[in-house]
Chain A
Amino acid sequence: MTAEPTSARSATRYDADTLASLAADAAAVKARYPDPRSGLLPMLHLVQSVDGYVSRDGILFCAEQLEMTPAEVSAVATFYTQYKRHPNGTYTVGVCTNTLCAVMGGDAIFDELSEHLGVGHDETTDDGAITLERVECNAACDYAPVVMVNWEFFDNQTPESATDLADRLRAGEEVAPTRGASSVCGFKQMSRVLAGFTDGRADEGVGAGEPTLAGLRLARAAAAVDGGEPSSVQPAETTDGGSTGSAAEVPPETGTAQSSAERKPAAPGDDNPGRSPSGGDANPEPEKGGSDD
């Protein structure tokens, strides 16, 4: 972990201090997994926390840490949308334009923001403050339309609330998500958390918004009416008998509708590939071919 030996070996252009600090963090990342290669995704978040995107140096650094080729690291980095290929703004503002949010107003919010900021999808404002994105469903559909800022939830947005949000971000004001930390952090800080290094902010913010609690509120009210009986349960009488008790053998129905290309076992290894042909222990990392690297 000393700077000299690491930097002496490194093809990156990080200065010695940065490299030493990155290497220490990378060691912590690798230590979380039985196989260090599993640390590649968090390590890519880590280099984004230093460079603000997955830079050339970041790719080289990961490759050196994991004894991979830069091409192999790039192949992984380009697969995932959160790894940015050019310097990101301080804040990623992502508008959900998947069907449900789009229909309920997400399209209008994106168009308004795009015009207001003068940038399109995956483009950054000239001041470097905001990278605007269309994002896919972010699992907050009961709060539609949803905007994410550095992957914190801003629920039930309108074009006006979204442009106001953007203005405040650009002005450097502290902005609080609906459900999240008490203020949105920068892209680099966020990336460091996603690399698995806590920022101690887990206890900030709410546990749930109202839609999350919608059913629970009704059940509580019903229980109060019933005289404090906690959530009385009635078997679903309308369904086929509601028979209980007999834990019927449930035929496995997956493999039909949900997995289209399941094939019949064709080779011995299909059923028991944990054994190597020599009968020894399983290779913990069965790499295929890789002849072109």
Chain B
Amino acid sequence: MTDLMPVLTDTWDADRSWKLASYEAAGGYAGLRKALTMEPADLVQTVKDSGLRGRGGAGFPTGMKWGFLPPPDGGPRYLVVNADESEPGTCKDIPLMLASPQHLVEGIAITSYAIGCHHAFVYVRGEVLHVYRRLMAAVQEAYDAGFLGKDVLGTGFDLAVTVHAGAGAYICGEETALLDSLEGKRGQPRLKPPFPAVAGLYARPTVVNNVESIASVPGIVARGADWFAGMGTAKSQGHGLFSLSGHVTRPGQYEAPLGITLRELLDLAGGMRAGHELKFWTPGGSSTPLFTADHLDTPLDYESVGAAGSMLGTRALQLFDDTTCVVRAVSRWTDFYAHESCGKCTPCREGTYWLKQVLHRIEAGQGEERDVDLLLDLCDNILGRAFCALGDGATSPVTSSVQLFRDEYQAHIDGRGCPFDPRASALFPYTPKQSPALAGAGGH
């Protein structure tokens, strides 16, 4: 049995948990004080030794990413925190920044010192007003206390932090699109290489890290790489936020060592809602291939989830019970990808559009016999053919659901409609206003 491990969440139940005073009372900024006595290169090595891997979905080793920066050339180097949390199902960074933004601010100060950055940015999605307020206030408190600004804690290290609000675009969570957006442009991904480490913000060496990754750094520095590496599995070390949502008794944030299983998490969360069974779930957001009850015991670490055919992603566990129509679920996710495709790459832009059309007609009972194969063919023409992972992600729910639930697609086609009653999956009783098959679909 894997125990829960509150590290980032540990301060969240404190009175006015978001204030600097609360954070310091819980030992906050010990990491920064220690870091400022260390050589930057030793800090990078510490984070490498900890085994911390990017918590924003891709899982790239964080210390290695820092180490990719070229040697200092006298020009600026930047840290950009990706706080554009928008992957469907993902809901960990936003509550973190609402409850304890100083975790992030301290991590920014340490990381900036480690990589030689004197101006860091937080790109937070624009659709979370109060989180933006809290971040702005947290940064101001840190300035006032001398943790940011000129001559941080009397060490001669200077650091400015700018909190920047986006304006509603999922694609800006992709790191190069985020950089273009931060430069005041349309948020469209760049071709890689060059990677941001070489040519990022304003074409200067840049580290782009997820909120949870950066927020994990103070603990690693304060308590040591061995402490962090002692949690989790051999190659997926440390703690992580597991976000349970959907038809589960107690949805919410569960912080645990990587490698915990859904069965263990479900036990903690009180199981699926009464009278129903788990039908399908996403291990790491909608862009990760679906799992079923067959995967309840898959350790939720990068390697095990990958070996089982999906991706750990953002540990956004969206759980759907037996009342849920998988075609409806996938159709709606596809609406999302079609809406959010930036339009730069033809396979993604056109492919997601056509996926949407075909899924809508299947859902409405107007599917044709060849439509399931048509979906797979469309996915085949998107996967691997676009600049960024949005197109790839759009195919994941489609291909995995066809693989797992092809009969259900066929039932929509043969039965000329959806065999499910949408009322059964809702949390409250209601009377549908229109034909349930397409209630609310599309139109974003």
Contact = CB atoms under 8 A, between A and B. Distances in A.
Interface of A: 32-35, 37-42, 44-45, 66, 75-76, 79-83, 97-100, 102-108, 110-112, 114-115, 120-121, 134-145, 148, 150-153, 158-159, 177, 179-181, 190, 193-196, 198-199, 201-203, 205, 207-208, 210-220, 222, 231-236, 238-245, 247-248, 250, 252-254, 257-263, 265, 269-274, 281-286
Contacts of A247: 48-51, 225, 229, 237
Nearest to A80: B167
A212 B253 contact: yes
A59 B407 CA distance: 52
Contact of A260 (B204, B330, B385): B385
Contacts of A194: 126, 129, 132, 165, 167
Given A137-B86, A145-B427, A244 B229 contact: yes
Given A104-B427, A270-B193, A140 B91 contact: yes
Interface string B207-237: 0000000000000000001100111111101
A239 B126 contact: no
Interface stretch (B31-39, B362-370, B431-439): B431-439
A253 B134 contact: no
Contacts, number: 449
Given A213-B252, A233-B5, A103 B328 contact: yes
Contacts of A282: 75, 199, 202-204
Given A82-B168, A141-B318, A136 B250 contact: no
Contact of A201 (B133, B234, B269): B133
B381 interface: no
Interface centre among B1, B57, B99, B232 (most CB of A within 10 A): B99
Name B's interface SS: loop
B13 interface: yes
B439 to A, nearest CB: 5
Contacts of A196: 136, 163-165
B38 to A, nearest CB: 17
Given A115-B433, A198-B133, A139 B268 contact: no
Interface stretch (B144-152, B182-190, B372-380, B409-417): B182-190
A236 B254 contact: no
B301 A239 contact: yes
B58 to A, nearest CB: 4
Contacts of B304: 239-240
A273 B203 contact: yes
Interface in B373-397: 383-389, 391-392
Interface centre among A76, A105, A219, A250 (most CB of B within 10 A): A250
Contacts of B57: 258
Given A144-B245, A179-B130, A244-B229, A103 B184 contact: no
Interface stretch (B106-114, B331-339, B349-357): B331-339
A38 B252 contact: no
B400 interface: no
Contacts of A272: 70, 194, 198
B4 A222 contact: yes
B246 to A, nearest CB: 6
A82 B126 contact: yes
Contact of A211 (B247, B253, B340): B253
13 contacts: A38-B184, A112-B430, A138-B127, A143-B251, A144-B245, A193-B129, A211-B250, A212-B98, A213-B9, A213-B252, A238-B2, A245-B229, A254-B60
Contacts of B392: 257-258, 260
Interface centre among B85, B234, B320 (most CB of A within 10 A): B234
Contact of A45 (B51, B165, B432): B165
Contacts of B24: none
Contacts of B336: 98-99, 136-137
Interface in B141-160: none
